[in-house]
Amino acid sequence: MQPFLSICIPQYSRFPFLLRQLEILHTQKYRDFEVCITDDQSPEKGDQRIRDFLEACQIPYRYEINPVNLRYDGNLRAAIHLAKGKYVLLMGNDDALADESSLELIAAQLQAVSKAGALLANYRSLADGKVFRRVKRTGILGRGLKTALETFRDYSFVSGVALDRAKAQALATDRWDGSEQYQMYLASRIVSDGAELVGVAEVVIHCGLQIPGEDVDSYASRPRPRWREGLPKLNVPLAKEAGLVFDAVLPATRGPVRGVAWKIQRQIYQFTYGYWLFEYRRTLGWLYAAGFARAMLPSKTESHIPVKARNFWKTRIFFSLVTLAGFLVPRFIFETAKPFLYQLAKGKIR
């Protein structure tokens, strides 16, 4: 029989974290689910402990190893392709459900809305205990183009995002591979097309499992570039985000698209770009931050969106102001405001 939920986990190494996630999943009161895991050519070529655990717990599952390394977007698409449930619940392989009632809360909200197309849930970082509230209320949050434009940044953290499985599979595309935001494309397209966006205000996801002796790679551990080497040439997935979102909502856009393009660009520069410019300056130094700024020039981020004369200059002036602030504001001010800025970067505060 068709399960109600398919838990889709794109996997690459980090097997102890994945196993811990599955152990927590096994404690759930709600049982109408399956697990879909795609391994993206991990050096270990899979881990038999994962299959053994799922079989011992009698959890329905599909576990495939991709024939080639697809990287994040392709790997997530492959995991969704395996799903048979009415909805797919997306999970990072080092995150987990918060407690034994989490899946029950998610399923209840999806079942309560006949035309639910996407769902967002709140999460807690286990590294520092901070709670990130992508949504402030449980229930229907909206639908259509306006809602999609107001919420697209909320999907940047993949765990706790649920999508209508049939719609997600029908919209499968590799156009935005390399953006590392495939779930943002799918959710924005589904919501802008008129499906309801549902929220779960409770904290049902734990971000960043902590396992003694096991570490997760961090951007802060990268070596600082040296001045004699010049500005680093960075491949920044964020540079594709404006085009990705514009492509997702374009079918729902009526009339001139200039305003839509500007709303997307403004949010990315004001919130996401602004935060990471500060953060890279703090952790990796001025040179890396300058390389990041160069990779995020409007001429690069707007390559897939229409640009008219007025918005052409508006975007460049706005980018310049945010960049100046990123390099000139004292670090102690950034440190004080960092929790708030992080909330803004991860998902718009409402």
Angle at 232 between CA 42 and CA 76, to 5 degrees: 30
Distance CA(16)–CA(64), nearest Å, equals 18
What residues have CB less than 8 Å from 195, skipping those under 6 apart? 115, 116, 117, 118, 143, 164, 167
Q: Are residues 251 and 301 both part of a single domain?
A: yes
Structural domain contains residue 341: yes
Q: Are residues 122 and 91 both part of a single domain?
A: yes
Task: Please tell me the least confidently modeled range out of 42-46, 48-52, 78-82.
Answer: 42-46
Which pair of structure tokens corresponds to residue 316?
């460049």
Distance CA(155)–CA(160), nearest Å, equals 9
Q: Are residues 182 and 108 both part of a single domain?
A: yes
Q: Are residues 231 and 322 both part of a single domain?
A: yes
Q: Are residues 332 and 256 both part of a single domain?
A: yes
Distance CA(92)–CA(208), nearest Å, equals 9
Residues in the chain: 350
Instruction: Tell me how far the alpha carbon of residue 330 is from its chain's centroid.
Output: 29
132-179 pLDDT per residue, tens: 999 999 999 999 999 999 999 999 999 999 999 999 999 999 999 999
Nearest to 272 by CA among 316, 237, 317: 237
Distance CA(242)–CA(301), nearest Å, equals 6
pLDDT at 349: 39
Structural domain contains residue 300: yes
pLDDT at 336: 80
Structural domain contains residue 214: no
Q: Which domain holds residue 317?
A: 221-346
Pair 157, 184: CB distance under 8 Å: no
Q: Are residues 161 and 232 both part of a single domain?
A: no
Task: Please tell me the least confidently modeled range out of 49-58, 135-144, 214-223, 240-249.
Answer: 214-223
pLDDT at 344: 63
Point out the domain boundary residue: 180, 207, 234.
207
Structural domain contains residue 216: no
Helix (H, G, I), strand (E, B) or coil at 139: strand
Structural domain contains residue 213: no
Task: Please tell me the least confidently modeled range out of 90-104, 125-139, 323-337.
Answer: 323-337
Q: Are residues 235 and 187 both part of a single domain?
A: no
Q: Are residues 225 and 203 both part of a single domain?
A: no
| Alpha-carbon distances, residue 149 vs 42, 113, 284 (angstroms) | 36, 21, 32
pLDDT at 343 exceeding the cut of 80: no
State the CATH number of the domain containing residue 25: 3.90.550.10
Point out the domain boundary residue: 173, 207, 241.
207
Pair 242, 298: CB distance under 8 Å: no
Q: Are residues 237 and 138 both part of a single domain?
A: no
How many CB atoms neighbour CB 255 within 10 A? Answer: 7
What residues have CB less than 8 Å from 291, skipping those under 6 apart? 225, 231, 232, 233, 234
The total of structural domains in the chain comes to: 2
Per DSSP, which regions of the chain are E strands?
A: 5-11, 33-39, 61-65, 87-90, 96-97, 116-125, 131-132, 139-142, 161-164, 196-207
Which pair of structure tokens corresponds to residue 185?
């494309």
Structural domain contains residue 169: yes
pLDDT at 223: 85
pLDDT at 8 exceeding the cut of 60: yes
Q: Are residues 130 and 262 both part of a single domain?
A: no
Which pair of structure tokens corresponds to residue 98?
């918060």
Structural domain contains residue 215: no
pLDDT at 206 exceeding the cut of 60: yes
pLDDT at 347: 54
> pLDDT band at 229, cuts 50/70/90?
confident
Q: Are residues 168 and 300 both part of a single domain?
A: no
| Rounded mean pLDDT, 34-63 | 93
Q: Are residues 49 and 186 both part of a single domain?
A: yes
Point out the domain boundary residue: 158, 180, 207.
207
Pair 83, 7: CB distance under 8 Å: no
Pair 49, 21: CB distance under 8 Å: no
Structural domain contains residue 212: no
User: What are the DSSP calls for 169-183, one per residue?
Assistant: HHT--STTTTSS-HH
pLDDT at 280 exceeding the cut of 70: yes
Task: Please tell me the least confidently modeled range out of 89-103, 170-184, 235-249, 308-322.
Answer: 308-322
pLDDT at 350 exceeding the cut of 50: no
Residue with tokens 């392989």: 93
- Phi and psi based region of residue 94 (left: phi greater than 0; alpha: psi -120 to 50; beta: remaining): alpha
